[in-house]
Structure 1
């Protein structure tokens, strides 16, 4: 299997694992848990698991992570904790569809960053794939059926989108110096500390609810839901995502990760009994088509020499 193909499969696995968090979080929130409590449990548990894995798998890399604070701190604080916290805060005044669609504009931010700042012109295939995929995502999350957006909610959703773009860009660059397990062990620790800081200053509420949740009228122990949220939808999801970014580059990885939209729709139908509309099915086809177009592009971006410095073999 080629490096690019492995990167695609890793990123698709990451999208599936992330998508599973939707039904799990929805069930726990329905049991009376606050967004801050769920986020704190998720990131604190994931940080503990990743630190343990890193201590056994790459102790030198974990130590190196302490010296890469310029990468680890923004990765954890912005790319992980900031994305999730701002997403929850945006839901206070925005419908989920609007927030999700704004988050899914992160690939456009990545492409614009490479084009404007890095002087790396996107290929025609990448631009076409981005346009088709985002159009499909808009249909899947039914953004056109949402109500008038609130400016404060839009601001939080915009911050979540920027945080997503930061995650993609830092994943692409930092894995050249740190292994995925070392990066995540350090980054998730920063994310957990950031979450507790937000709780401490009152930006996120901390309310622990009941011990049993409901998932489509079926009882689900909250400890089990939180364990799956930590191990599958956080640890596994971020490991696959960072490893995929290292093989695909931030631009293509961010597009492939939009497969999360398809998985989220499917899992919501299977686990929560939420129906899939014909419009969502059309959007799903467009998402798959857009991913195929983007994946057929030989390179995620076309590098343009800047100041007489030639790009390397991978266009970086």
Structure 2
């Protein structure tokens, strides 16, 4: 019986890793698609808002089908779903774009991608899951790899307000991993993604309508390294592949891998972003960035080796906020 359980766990881990890498690849292409739109005159706020609405609409029907006869679960966990939409989607996107408006993108990304460390600390304080020595070494190695990949020492300017916005994006990213890993809710992954993206879309639209998030868009053709495309092609690509598919794969993988390990595997998104930046925009990573990517992968392996044998999601991993919260 023990062997059967171990085999099932191994299969779940392997499939979870495949889903996690798929999510990282999907998320990683969003920057390249969006950069083309922004070079064509779109504001970052308009690009991310359209991205979220396309994803929310794509997942609307599958979400409704997945929730047939299960609306009681939605009511029971309405607070969690709302907080997921507001923090894991809206705050993560809005805070990041506010950060890059006043500071270099590389430094903002570096701060946001400290989310795995925040996840480790939360699980340590909340569940008493003290990371092992190899896990802590892996976190440090992965962090150093990010520093090399993002090249923050090449004239990056530090703005205190920007740092605060980037920390807000980090909280949103950490919330994404912690809540995506909750399998005790009974919410199908596609439903959590669909409802969260719908709430996030509404939040970003409100931010745009109130002037917090500048909105500018057009219907000009969009140029990429491989050719010019009608504006709706990158819009659909970034919404369907880099958002809808990415969020669903991310939730599925986090439930199978656990919040901690999944958050470190997600660092491969930076590697994917560099790859798609080269394929789509001709932005070729240098040797230092390649070295950083190798360090990230080594760090991820060390984090996995430093995990407990059993890494199951605990219903208490994230507290149920009072009233209508998370």
TM-score by length of 1: 0.91
Superposition pairs for residues 60-139 of structure 1, below 5 Å?
A: 60-61=69-70, 64-139=73-148
Q: Deviations over 1:252-292 (max 9, x none)?
A: 10000001111111111111111211111111111111122
1:163 equivalent in structure 2: 172
**Would you say 1:243 and 2:252 are equivalent positions?**
yes
Q: Deviations over 1:11-64 (max 9, x none)?
A: 111000000101100000111111221122111111111121122344234663
1:153 equivalent in structure 2: 162
1:213 equivalent in structure 2: 222
1:13 equivalent in structure 2: 22
Q: Aligned to 2:287, which of 278, 281, 305?
A: 278
Structure 1 residues 113 and 298: alpha-carbon distance in aligned structure 2, compared to 1, 3 A threshold: closer
2:277 equivalent in structure 1: 268
Structure 2: distance between partners of 1:213 and 1:139: 31
Structure 1 residues 62 and 13: alpha-carbon distance in aligned structure 2, compared to 1, 3 A threshold: farther
Q: What SS is found at the alignment partner of 1:145?
A: coil
Moved more, 209-218 or 233-242: 209-218
Could you tell me how far 1:295 is from its partner in structure 2?
Answer: 2.4
Could you tell me how far 1:209 is from its partner in structure 2?
Answer: 2.3
Q: How many residues align?
A: 309
Q: Contact 1:94–1:149 (CA<8 Å) still a contact in 2?
A: yes
Structure 1: distance between partners of 2:66 and 2:220: 34
Structure 2: distance between partners of 1:281 and 1:302: 31
Structure 1, unpaired ranges of 5+: 304-310
Q: Contact 1:123–1:301 (CA<8 Å) still a contact in 2?
A: no
Structure 1 residues 79 and 198: alpha-carbon distance in aligned structure 2, compared to 1, 3 A threshold: same
Q: Contact 1:251–1:301 (CA<8 Å) still a contact in 2?
A: no
Structure 2: distance between partners of 1:285 and 1:36: 32
Superposition pairs for residues 165-180 of structure 1, below 5 Å?
A: 165-173=174-182, 176-180=185-189
TM-score by length of 2: 0.88
Q: Contact 2:131–2:307 (CA<8 Å) still a contact in 1?
A: no
Structure 1: distance between partners of 2:127 and 2:59: 32
1:307 equivalent in structure 2: none
Q: Deviations over 1:110-149 (max 9, x none)?
A: 1111112332211223222211111111111112224231
Question: RMSD over aligned Cα, in angstroms?
Answer: 2.3
Q: Contact 2:131–2:306 (CA<8 Å) still a contact in 1?
A: no
1:142 equivalent in structure 2: 151
Q: Aligned to 1:50, which of 52, 59, 66?
A: 59
Superposition pairs for residues 186-205 of structure 1, below 5 Å?
A: 186-205=195-214
Structure 2: distance between partners of 1:13 and 1:281: 20
Structure 1: distance between partners of 2:279 and 2:175: 32
Q: Contact 1:248–1:300 (CA<8 Å) still a contact in 2?
A: no
Structure 2, unpaired ranges of 5+: 1-9, 319-326
